[in-house]
Amino acid sequence: MKSFHPPQRTLMGPGPSDVPPRVLEALSRPTIGHLDPDFVAMMDELKALLQYAFQTENPMTMPVSAPGSAGMECCFVNLVEPGDKVVVCVNGVFGGRMKENVERCGGTPVLVEDPWGRAVDPQKLEDTLKAHPDARIVAFVHAETSTGACSDVQTLVDIAHRHDCLTIVDAVTSLGGIPLHVDAWGVDAVYSGTQKCLSCTPGLSPVSFGERAVAKIKNRSHKVQSWFLDLNLVMGYWGGGKRAYHHTAPINALYALHEALLILREEGLENAWARHRRLHEALKAGLEAMGLSFVVPEAERLPQLNAVRIPEGVDDAAVRSRLLADYRLEIGAGLGEMAGKVWRIGLMGHACNTRNVLLCLQALEDVLQRAGAAIETGRALAAARAVLETG
Is 301 one of the binding residues for a second copy (CB under 8 A)? no
Alpha-carbon gap, residue 103 to 273, rounded angstroms? 35
Minimum CB separation of residue 161 from a second copy in Å reads: 27
Using CB under 8 A, which of 57, 104, 215, 297 touches a second copy? 104
Residue of 142, 138, 145 whose CA lies nearest to 92: 145
Find the binding residues for a second copy in span 144-183 (CB under 8 A).
none
Alpha-carbon gap, residue 17 to 260, rounded angstroms? 12
Alpha-carbon gap, residue 143 to 145, rounded angstroms? 6
- Beta partners for residue 308, in sequence order: 294, 343
Find the binding residues for a second copy in span 331-390 (CB under 8 A).
333, 335
Using CB under 8 A, which of 240, 247, 297, 376 touches a second copy? 247
Minimum CB separation of residue 162 from a second copy in Å reads: 30
Query: Which of residues 25 and 211 has its CB atom nearest to a second copy in the complex?
Result: 25
Residue of 7, 10, 63, 104 whose CA lies nearest to 359: 10
Angle between helices 269-289 and 379-390 (to 10 degrees): 150
Minimum CB separation of residue 382 from a second copy in Å reads: 30
Residue of 250, 253, 146, 148 whose CA lies nearest to 198: 253
Find the binding residues for a second copy in span 11-50 (CB under 8 A).
11, 13, 15-16, 18-19, 22, 24-39, 42, 45, 48-49
Is 225 one of the binding residues for a second copy (CB under 8 A)? yes
Query: Which of residues 251 and 371 has its CB atom nearest to a second copy in the complex?
Result: 251
Vertex 120 angle, CA 119 and 125, to 5°: 165
Minimum CB separation of residue 275 from a second copy in Å reads: 20
Using CB under 8 A, which of 55, 108, 155, 226 touches a second copy? 226
Question: CB neighbours (10 Å) of residue 85?
Answer: 17
Is 273 one of the binding residues for a second copy (CB under 8 A)? no
Query: Which of residues 227 and 268 has its CB atom nearest to a second copy in the complex?
Result: 227
Concatenate the DSSP letters of all residues of 271-294 into one string: HHHHHHHHHHHHHHHHHHHTT--B
Please give the size of the binding site for a second copy, defined by CB under 8 A: 79
Find the binding residues for a second copy in span 67-86 (CB under 8 A).
67-70, 72-73
